[in-house]
Chains A and B, each alone.
Chain A
Amino acid sequence: MSCRWVTCALITVLLALGCGGGSELPGPAVVTFPISALGAEGRVLVRQLARFMKENPGIKVVQRVTPDGADQKHQLYVQWLNAGASDPDILQLDVIWTPEFAAAGWILPLNQFQPDTAAFFPSTIAANRWQDSLYALPWFADVGMLYWRTDLMKQPPATFDELVQQAQRVRQKGGPRYGFVWQGARYEGLITTFLEYLGAYGGRILEGGRVVVNSEAGLRALTEMRDEIYRHGVVPTTALTWHEEETRFAFQNGEAAFMRNWPYAFPLMEDSAESRVAGKFAVAPMPAGPGGTHTAAIGGAQLAINRRTEYPEAAWAVIDYLTQPEQMRERAEVVGQFPTRTALYDDPELASGLAIPPATVRRIIEYSVPRPVTPIYTQLSEILQINLHRALTRQAEPAAALARAQAEMQRVLNRAGLGTGEPVARR
């Protein structure tokens, strides 16, 4: 391997020497694309990029391997971009990073390329806007969904009250020992769970520059989460240490009647070698409460362009290609990732490719809302995580926890010059 590298390097040097004035010839535009796709996802991408390069001989796409963990990837990106590096040219962003990178001036506004934003789900576009410009294009969408057991009940619950009743009834009949499992550990996943409860009661976290989480709806949502644990005994206390995978293991071992999770869990749990619930579950939107509607937190991957890139046009060509319906359909078929283009859900071919009926997926995506779109999202999220977790582990009352979260988040926003809320004094 290393021998081959040395040979390659030598040839490159010799060519460079031999060519001499060759730099006048326009060589291919080389764009680098850091990617952490594993397994089938990685193979689809390699295939699509190969097709792209065949159709566009003037552009060469170089893949670069990056860490899989979101936090590590974020740190790496920040190091590169903060240092003003011109590559990588294309960035795969988590949905909550777009405003941060846009406000820092690290990524290019995409309006100049006139992307067809109307073709995408509005919530996926909203999450990628900052100050009236679009900074990234949604590649695929992740949404929070309610997994329910089709062998234990006929209908998924439409409200949290129904969910609690069904879970209790199922358990009385000797069903699974857990009613409902969700991601309750103190991390980003807790915010997405909370966001779905919050939306169910009609609340929001942030409105412009004002933190509004400490509202009637916020209080009802957090109280409902807490009651499901301690009053109704539907959510196990262990779930307060759980991430996505722990909830999936509980559900696929047949230990839970309901689960909140992302789409990735679906194909994995359909594998009967691994899962005891293969063929016995379906997905629905998360329940609604009074005053609100079904809500799905939105995640997924976005594609953006490094502001310092030498080849903005070439980078855009790659992004444009990867987000075409054809490529999205292929990803949906092979990896099960949800396309972000609305029209694809009317395409009969998608139905045969996706494990979940496209109509259900579409309905859930239409209920989706982005997490607060602000450059300092991670900081706000940390404050909220801590206070939610304190309330859920009964170290604080919901009302006090929300009041404290709101005051601290507003203070951070104001300090960043992004706040329009009342400056709230520290307790």
Chain B
Amino acid sequence: MERQEARAAWALVLPAALTILLVALFPLVWTVWESLHLHDLRMPWLGKPFVGLDNYVEALGDPRFWAALGHTAFFAVTSVGLELLIGLWLALALNRAFRGRGLVRAAVLVPWAIPTVVSALLWRFMFEGQTGIVNSVLVGLGVLKEPLVWFIHPAGAWVPVILADVWKTTPFVALLLLAGLQNIDASLYEAARIDGASAWRQFRHVTLPLLKPAILVALIFRTLDAFRVFDLIYALTGGGPGTSTEPIALYTFNALLQNLQFGYGSALSVIVFLITFSLAILYIKLLGAELTGGKR
């Protein structure tokens, strides 16, 4: 009886398991296999010899790889940090009762609804050239003495990149946090007020601890996204000037699809996968502990 049930259960799970195997595991295994070969579409005369870990050794010895990794980490930390802060502030504001709240909540989502490439171009136009709006405003206000060509400065080029990402994804973070805020029982604030807690103490001791799961969820989504950033930078700076805003995904794209180095590009992909995968595991552990109250 029980065995029959177990068999039925297996039979029911099998199609789903096979699908996952096919769409997730197969490409992954294939990529790993490719990454162990020298496979360069531009050099067919070299064949496709097995080279073991050579591609990985080359990647790890490549200063451009490490620079790209550094850019990615910098981008993730800065943009996600800003998004969390501003998103939290927005969520708190939107959580209050005021007239037209529904409309404002919807309006906040507009940047999130714009395709990344479009918003990237938008920001590019604002920052571009000597006559872009940003330069006009900053020179007009006397912040800058003369127009700054943002995209040719290794540091300056990051400003539109980070701003565009913050502008686009803060609404998403705010929405997640807002959902978290609405789950907090209002009677907790009432009790805190009766005990004489100030607004700051209420925030610090009621809101923040209870919002932690929502913050973690937002953090997971955003850091993983930020780590794979591609389209925004591709359209905004193309990784330049030089390679000073090139993230790891863009470097991988260049190796794989621009230079058609399938082996080396696959090795890069596997490295990116390992990094995001371990980040995900780390977060899931943290989040799991949080949701079960720290007891495992």
Interface residues of A (CB under 8 A from B): 71, 75, 78, 82, 100, 103-105, 185-187, 236-238, 240-241, 375-376, 378-379, 382, 386-387, 389-390, 393, 395-396, 416-417, 426-427
Contacts and interface: CB of A to CB of B under 8 A. Distances in A.
B104 to A, nearest CB: 37
Given A238-B130, A240-B149, A241-B149, A393 B257 contact: no
Contacts of B244: 395
B42 A382 contact: no
A427 B63 contact: yes
Contact of A395 (B44, B128, B149, B242): B242
Contacts of B42: 100, 104, 375-376, 378-379, 416
A237 B129 CA distance: 9
B151 interface: yes
B153 interface: yes
A396 B243 CA distance: 12
A375 B43 contact: yes
B259 A378 contact: yes
B251 to A, nearest CB: 11
Contacts of A393: 152-154, 240-242
B149 A186 contact: no
Interface in B237-284: 238-244, 254, 257-260
Given A82-B41, A376-B43, A378-B258, A390 B242 contact: yes
Given A71-B258, A186-B241, A417 B149 contact: no
Nearest to A391: B242
B46 interface: yes
A241 B259 contact: no
A238 B240 contact: no
A276 B6 CA distance: 81
Given A186-B241, A238-B129, A375-B42, 17 more contacts: A71-B258, A104-B42, A186-B238, A186-B239, A237-B152, A238-B128, A238-B152, A240-B241, A241-B128, A376-B43, A378-B42, A387-B242, A389-B240, A390-B243, A393-B152, A393-B242, A416-B40
B154 A395 contact: yes
Interface residues of B, number: 29
Interface in B28-77: 40-46, 61, 63
B260 A237 contact: no
Given A71-B258, A390-B242, A395-B244, A417 B45 contact: yes
A416 B45 CA distance: 9
Nearest to A401: B242
Given A78-B260, A241-B128, A379-B259, A426 B61 contact: yes
Nearest to A229: B152
A186 B43 contact: no
Contact of A241 (B151, B243, B260): B151
Given A104-B44, A379-B259, A241 B63 contact: no
B241 A416 contact: no
A127 to B, nearest CB: 18
19 contacts: A75-B257, A104-B41, A186-B239, A186-B240, A186-B241, A186-B242, A236-B130, A241-B129, A241-B152, A376-B42, A376-B43, A378-B42, A386-B243, A390-B243, A393-B152, A393-B154, A395-B241, A395-B242, A417-B46
A92 to B, nearest CB: 19
User: Which of B46, B239, B243 counts the most chain A CB atoms within 10 A?
Assistant: B243
Contacts of B128: 238, 241
Nearest to A416: B43
A261 to B, nearest CB: 18
Chain A to chain B: the 9 pairs with minimum beta-carbon distance, closest first: A390-B242, A393-B241, A186-B240, A240-B152, A237-B149, A393-B152, A241-B151, A104-B44, A416-B43
B254 A382 contact: yes
Interface in B218-249: 238-244
A105 B42 CA distance: 11
Nearest to A388: B242
Contacts of B241: 186, 240, 389-390, 393, 395
A249 to B, nearest CB: 10
Contacts of B152: 237-238, 240-241, 393
Contacts of A187: 238
Contacts of A390: 241-243
Contacts of A78: 41, 260
Contacts of B43: 103, 375-376, 416-417
A382 B257 CA distance: 13
A82 B129 CA distance: 41
Nearest to A236: B130
